[in-house]
């Protein structure tokens, strides 16, 4: 925060409507909603702050926004809104939600100046939000097979709803959009693919076409401490405890076996992904989609039937996007520790281009830090999340995708607060290990990348 903003904020907090310090620091007429504020809100806030969306109030009109002026001043000044958690000192992200210092000053001056409306003639046209699909006409809309019941209260363990897709040949996802049936009860969704069960009669493995001379050695892509090597699209890191949980009630949908890489996900305010021209993600023939649903009861029983719309590229793209994850499945966070560090590291064995990362812990996670150690020994912090917040599962999409040479190490560090001081901590007296549920923990990072130079994987690529 600049001194100017600090002054402005103090003025607001003190309830001063025309503090002289404020006027001296930022001369000129008091900004108005119509002329100065609406453009900022339309560009940065109303994607969430509009009727039917996840935020508690709309900011589309003056009437909607005016009662919230005080709260807006403080949330904007302290950086809580718009929600974005990357440390600006490291990396630059194409989907960053961040107000400029000038925009913050305008908001502070508007609120401290009495939050006037201004002239109707100054008001720009409000953005148009479609009830339809924002990715344009989808090629296919897939829907959950059932109206999943969510109780009014209590905790719903993660549920895994499988949607048959069963395309006869590979499809290349160019864009996706996810629409929860009841947004209020859906905390987040992770969509993975799942291979069909192996046919009862074992087929001999399909012969792969011989590699062209000079073609890159296909596997492995990554290796981990302990010598594990994984092909593209698989989960790596220390092995996860086997998930053997049977369904505990008629409505329980435990994780099916054999779920593959994630292809996307939904978090409030982020339900769409369009890959750049020439890039797409493979949905292999015969695979289904598995939606990992995190439902949060909201005080009133409801049901959810989430839909996912897909747009396909006409054929294999120039650049096939792959996903992989870096995890530490062996974590153990002792009871009553306030700042417990968990590390994970992988060596990237091929030249890749890295497009985005999603850090994921549960409610005890407080901080993330990612560093590349290049083959020449140079180190670079590529993402730092100093105040991780479980409620905001951001995908950090690099503005300039990172070209990473083979031999680079990716080192991830996450910190956990398992003390009573952590208000989100469900039980500081428990040691915590890996698990799906929010009272368990994860140390999980999803990576979206391509092989460089761009090569589309052959249909028979091992997954």
Please identify, using beta-carbon distances, which residue of 4 and 49 lies nearer to ligand HEC: 49
248: CB partners within 8 A, 6+ apart: none
Q: Binding ligand HEC by CB under 6 A: which of 66, 75, 90, 307?
A: 75
Rule CB under 6 A: is residue 76 a binding residue for ligand HEC? yes
Rule CB under 6 A: is residue 283 a binding residue for ligand HEC? no
Rule CB under 6 A: is residue 454 a binding residue for ligand HEC? no
Q: What would you report as the CA-atom Rg of the chain, rounded to the nearest whole angstrom?
A: 24
Q: Are 338 and 418 in contact (CB under 8 A)?
A: yes
Report how far residue 233's alpha carbon sits from residue 235's, in angstroms, rounded to the nearest whole number: 7
Rule CB under 6 A: is residue 79 a binding residue for ligand HEC? no
Rule CB under 6 A: is residue 54 a binding residue for ligand HEC? yes
Please identify, using beta-carbon distances, which residue of 75 and 255 lies nearer to ligand HEC: 75
Q: Which of residues 88-107 bind ligand HEC (CB under 6 A)?
A: 97, 99
Q: Are 62 and 98 in contact (CB under 8 A)?
A: no
Report how far residue 368's alpha carbon sits from residue 358's, in angstroms, rounded to the nearest whole number: 11
Rule CB under 6 A: is residue 159 a binding residue for ligand HEC? no
What is the sign of the dihedral through the CA atoms of 9, 14, 15 and 19?
A: negative
Report how far residue 5's alpha carbon sits from residue 43's, in angstroms, rounded to the nearest whole number: 21
Please identify, using beta-carbon distances, which residue of 68 and 167 lies nearer to ligand HEC: 68
For ligand HEC, which stretch binds (CB under 6 A), given 29-37, 70-78, 205-213, 441-449?
A: 70-78
**Paired sense of beta strands 229-230 and 279-283, if any:** unpaired
For ligand HEC, which stretch binds (CB under 6 A), given 74-82, 199-207, 339-347, 438-446?
A: 74-82
Rule CB under 6 A: is residue 71 a binding residue for ligand HEC? yes
Take residue 187 and report the two structure tokens written for it: 């905390």
Q: Are 402 and 91 in contact (CB under 8 A)?
A: no
Please identify, using beta-carbon distances, which residue of 45 and 86 lies nearer to ligand HEC: 45
Instruction: Tell me, by CB under 6 A, how many residues bind ligand HEC.
Output: 20
Q: End-to-end CA distance of the chain, in Å?
A: 47
What angle in degrees, to the nearest 10, is found between the helix axes of 69-77 and 3-13? 150
Rule CB under 6 A: is residue 186 a binding residue for ligand HEC? no
Report how far residue 139's alpha carbon sits from residue 306's, in angstroms, rounded to the nearest whole number: 17
The distance of closest approach from Cβ of residue 304 to ligand HEC in the complex, given in angstroms and rounded to an integer, is 18
Backbone angles phi, psi at 415, to 5 degrees: -120, 145
Q: Binding ligand HEC by CB under 6 A: which of 116, 254, 269, 405?
A: 269
The distance of closest approach from Cβ of residue 224 to ligand HEC in the complex, given in angstroms and rounded to an integer, is 34
The distance of closest approach from Cβ of residue 115 to ligand HEC in the complex, given in angstroms and rounded to an integer, is 12
Q: Binding ligand HEC by CB under 6 A: which of 35, 49, 311, 367?
A: 49
Rule CB under 6 A: is residue 268 a binding residue for ligand HEC? yes
For ligand HEC, which stretch binds (CB under 6 A), given 25-33, 67-75, 241-249, 280-288?
A: 67-75
**Paired sense of beta strands 279-283 and 319-327, if any:** parallel
Report how far residue 429's alpha carbon sits from residue 418's, in angstroms, rounded to the nearest whole number: 8
Rule CB under 6 A: is residue 183 a binding residue for ligand HEC? no
Rule CB under 6 A: is residue 48 a binding residue for ligand HEC? yes
Residue showing the smallest CB distance to ligand HEC in the complex? 269
The distance of closest approach from Cβ of residue 107 to ligand HEC in the complex, given in angstroms and rounded to an integer, is 7
Q: In what order do the strands lie in the sheet with 259-266?
A: 159-163, 288-295, 186-194, 259-266
The string of DSSP codes covering 51-89 is TTSSSSS--SSHHHHGGGHHHHHHHHHTT-SS---S-TT
Rule CB under 6 A: is residue 112 a binding residue for ligand HEC? no
Q: Which of 228, 244, 246 is nearest to 236 (CA)?
A: 228
Binding site for ligand HEC (CB under 6 A): 44-45, 47-49, 54-56, 68, 71-72, 75-76, 81-83, 97, 99, 268-269
């Amino acid at each position: 925060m600049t001194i100017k903003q600090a002054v402005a904020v103090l003025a607001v907090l003190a309830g001063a409507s025309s503090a002289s310090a404020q006027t001296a620091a930022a001369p000129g007429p008091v900004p108005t909603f119509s002329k100065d504020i609406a453009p900022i809100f339309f560009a940065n806030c109303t994607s969430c702050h509009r009727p039917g969306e996840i935020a508690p109030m709309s900011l589309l009109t003056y009437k909607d926004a005016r009662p919230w002026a005080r709260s807006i001043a403080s949330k904007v000044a302290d950086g809580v809104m718009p929600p974005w958690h990357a440390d600006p000192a490291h990396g630059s992200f194409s989907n960053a939600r961040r107000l400029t210092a000038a925009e913050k000053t305008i908001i502070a001056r508007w609120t401290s100046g009495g939050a006037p409306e201004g002239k109707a003639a100054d008001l720009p046209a409000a953005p148009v939000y479609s009830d339809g699909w924002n990715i344009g006409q989808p090629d296919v809309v897939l829907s959950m097979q059932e109206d999943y019941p969510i109780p009014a209260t209590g905790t719903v363990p993660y549920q895994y709803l499988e949607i048959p897709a069963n395309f006869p040949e590979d499809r290349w996802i160019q864009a996706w959009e996810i629409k929860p049936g009841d947004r209020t009860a859906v905390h987040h969704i992770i969509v993975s693919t799942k291979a069909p069960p192996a046919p009862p009669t074992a087929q001999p493995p399909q012969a792969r076409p011989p590699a062209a001379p000079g073609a890159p050695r296909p596997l492995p892509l990554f290796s981990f401490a302990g010598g594990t090597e994984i092909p593209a699209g698989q989960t790596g890191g220390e092995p996860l405890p086997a998930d053997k949980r049977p369904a505990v009630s008629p409505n329980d949908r435990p994780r099916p076996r054999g779920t593959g890489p994630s292809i996307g996900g939904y978090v409030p305010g982020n339900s769409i992904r369009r890959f750049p021209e020439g890039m797409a993600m493979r949905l292999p023939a015969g695979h289904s989609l598995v939606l990992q649903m995190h439902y949060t009861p909201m005080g009133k029983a409801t049901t959810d039937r989430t839909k996912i719309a897909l747009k396909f590229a006409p054929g294999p793209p120039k650049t096939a996007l792959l996903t992989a994850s870096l995890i530490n499945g062996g974590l153990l966070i002792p009871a009553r520790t306030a700042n417990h560090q968990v590390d994970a590291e992988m060596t990237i064995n091929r030249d890749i281009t890295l497009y985005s990362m999603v850090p994921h812990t549960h409610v005890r996670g407080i901080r993330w830090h990612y560093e590349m150690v290049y083959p020449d020994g140079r180190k670079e912090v590529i993402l730092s999340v100093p105040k991780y917040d479980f409620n905001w599962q951001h995908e950090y999409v690099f503005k300039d995708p990172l070209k990473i040479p083979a031999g680079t190490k990716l080192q991830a560090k996450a910190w956990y607060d398992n003390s009573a001081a952590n208000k989100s901590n469900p039980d500081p007296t428990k040691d915590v290990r890996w698990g799906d549920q929010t009272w368990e923990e994860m140390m999980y990072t999803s990576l979206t990348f391509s092989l460089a130079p761009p090569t589309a994987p052959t249909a028979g690529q091992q997954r």
